[in-house]
Amino acid sequence: MSDDTVRMTLAEVRDYARATLARVGLSPAHVAAVAETMVAGERDGCGSHGLYRLLVAAHSVAVGVVVPDAVPVLSRPKPALVRVDGGGGFAQLAFDTGRPALVEAARAHGIAALALNNVVHFAALWPEVEALVADGLVALAFTPSHAWVAPAGGTTPLFGTNPIAFGWPRPGGTPFVFDFATSMVARGEIELHRRAGKRVPTDWGHAPDGSETDDPAAVLAGAMRTFGEHKGSALATMVELIAGPLIGDLTSAESLAADAGRKGSPIGGELILAIDPAGFLGAAAADHLARAEAVFAGIEAQGARLPGSRRHAARIVSQRDGVAIARQLIADIDAVTKD
């Protein structure tokens, strides 16, 4: 461990996150839900969505982007559809509110969807799909963000970083879960590079004049790029559509407009789909899930790793040894959240 970092147990990370979120004015229910996703981020080696997000959350509260004591309201537009109106609060509590009904609906109908509306979103999506996979379901999650990303072929921001997460239950193994932005990287990763004084690869984004740059500040001021050229661009468009207008919520451009220069976290919705393997397969589901294991074995047999394997390895280490947190980050969080 370097002098630049402090080692914390996961319990200390949780206590620190909870105390900070309570101090900035979140209600106890939001404190508990939001802190847990930050603990998960640090635990699984996902620093861009760990304690760093305390700065982001505190700012969103301070500038009035988020309702710190919002009470999510659940409704059932159709038997297999669950909607939670987050009341302008952070998305984590809205998800926790809708999750039991989503699981129940997926088991009853084979497939079900949860729309979170009117939420403020800054979290990674894998904790949500992982929670649904723990209930034996296949899960997908999508959310737009702010218009920071240019479509392939352009240099003007239009899309959000628009993550897609997928989870698949594995008998006796860690689940197969991937979760990534449809931009080259999450914006949080570029912000972490800027904070650390590091350059970024030139394919991560464009400077404000559209030119190539390795300066993270220039990319943040200019436009990020989608991954996979037109393919990532099409997936980013899909996320805009299905987690925006399809569920009656904002696109990333509308979210940025609603932010009105306050630089808060994205405002809008999220779509989560849950599929029960027993829906199509009944009692044969277990046999087919076992057969699916050949796909994972085939990947690993070639020396490739499965998405999620790095996170699960990091989890084992951090549960045993705790995590190293940058002293500067703690100092910055304390500076903006303590009197």
Enumerate the active-site residues: 48-49, 189
CA angle 32, 195, 13 (to 5 degrees): 25
Q: Total residues contacting ligand NDP (rule CB under 6 A)?
A: 28
Taking the complex as a whole, the smallest distance from the CB of residue 149 to ligand PYC amounts, in Å, to 9
Check if the beta carbon of residue 207 is closer than 8 Å to that of residue 217: no
Residue type, 140: L
Give the binding range for ligand NDP (CB under 6 A) out of 108-116, 150-158, 192-200, 306-314: 306-314
User: Across the strands, what pairs with 177?
Assistant: 167
* Given 161, 252, 255, 318, the residue binding ligand PYC (CB under 6 A): 161
- Footprint on residues 236-255 left by ligand PYC (CB under 6 A): none
What is the C-alpha separation between 242 and 300, in angstroms, rounded? Answer: 33
Angle formed by the axes of helices 327-337 and 10-23, nearest 10°: 20
Give the binding range for ligand PYC (CB under 6 A) out of 72-80, 184-192, 201-209, 304-312: 184-192
Write out the E strands in 235-338. Answer: 267-275, 323-326
- Cα dihedral: 17, 22, 27, 32 (round 10): 20
What is the C-alpha separation between 336 and 244, in angstroms, rounded? Answer: 32
By CB under 6 A, residue 90 contacts ligand PYC:
no
By CB under 6 A, residue 182 contacts ligand PYC:
no
Angle formed by the axes of helices 28-43 and 309-321, nearest 10°: 110
Side-chain half-sphere exposure of 320, counting CA atoms within 13 A: 6
Binding mask 237-276 for ligand NDP (x = CB under 6 A): -----------------------------x----------
Binding mask 301-330 for ligand PYC (x = CB under 6 A): ------------------------------
Give the binding range for ligand PYC (CB under 6 A) out of 37-45, 131-139, 186-194, 302-310: 186-194
Closer CB to ligand PYC, 122 or 176, in the complex: 122
User: Which H helix or E strand runs over 114?
Assistant: strand 111-120
Taking the complex as a whole, the smallest distance from the CB of residue 107 to ligand NDP amounts, in Å, to 26
Chain positions contacting ligand PYC, by CB under 6 A: 48, 121-122, 145, 161, 181, 186-188, 266
